[in-house]
């Protein structure tokens, strides 16, 4: 195995680093979107936030805030898995163009998932975008498993 697999001179790792950073930054963006919804609507889940912002009470069931929060949780469930499986995938030294399309499709699927969740676009848009990203991770995982030993 080449010692250069995990350097930016390897196009597979370079593409993994780029698209991984895109989806991680997107996930961080969901934190800011959640905070923006909470602050602009005066909807807070913690008593200390209620006191800080001068609202009346803790509210846990605002649909607007909860939609953003659920979207963020979905990212937290899926993007770390992509990052871990993707790193293992880089280690098997896949074909650069095939790897690029795995990373590119996953990132596009997660961005489209967020848009379909937040706009909201009627189902099955969100389910399809989730399924595409999930399929990419399964594809990489199968390839890693096929190249490793039990």
Q: How far is CA 22 from the centre of its chain?
A: 9
Closest CA to 38 of 28, 30, 141: 30
pLDDT of 129 > 80? The answer is yes
pLDDT band with cut points at 50, 70 and 90 for residue 2: low
pTM for this entry: 0.91
Q: How far is CA 107 from the centre of its chain?
A: 8
Looking at residue 41, what is its pLDDT? 86
- Per-residue pLDDT, averaged over 86-98, amounts to 98
Interaxial angle between packed helices 96-118 and 125-147, expressed in degrees from 0 to 180 and rounded to the nearest 10: 150
Burial 16-45 (b: 16+ CB within 10 A, else e): bbebbebbeebbeebeebbeebbeeeebbb
**At a CB cut-off of 8 Å and minimum separation 6, what does 2 contact?**
10, 93
41-75: pLDDT as tens digits? 888 888 888 888 887 788 888 888 899 999 999 99
- Architecture of the domain whose range is 22-27+63-145: Up-down Bundle (1.20)
Domain boundaries, the chain: 22-27+63-145
DSSP at 137: H
Nearest Cα neighbor of 85 from 15, 34, 149, 136 is 136
């Amino acid at each position: 195995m080449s010692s250069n697999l995990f350097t930016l001179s390897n196009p597979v790792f370079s593409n993994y680093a780029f698209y991984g950073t895109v989806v991680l930054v997107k996930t961080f963006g969901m934190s800011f979107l959640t905070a923006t919804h909470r602050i602009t609507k005066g909807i807070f889940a913690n008593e200390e936030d209620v006191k800080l912002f001068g609202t009346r009470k803790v509210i846990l069931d605002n649909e607007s805030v909860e939609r953003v929060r659920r979207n963020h949780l979905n990212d937290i469930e899926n993007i770390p898995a992509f990052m871990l499986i993707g790193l293992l995938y880089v280690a098997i030294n896949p074909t650069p163009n095939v790897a690029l399309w795995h990373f590119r499709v996953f990132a596009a699927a997660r961005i489209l998932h967020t848009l379909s969740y937040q706009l909201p676009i009627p189902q099955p848009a969100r389910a399809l975008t989730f399924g595409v990203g999930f399929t990419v991770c399964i594809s990489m995982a199968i390839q890693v498993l096929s190249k490793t030993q039990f």
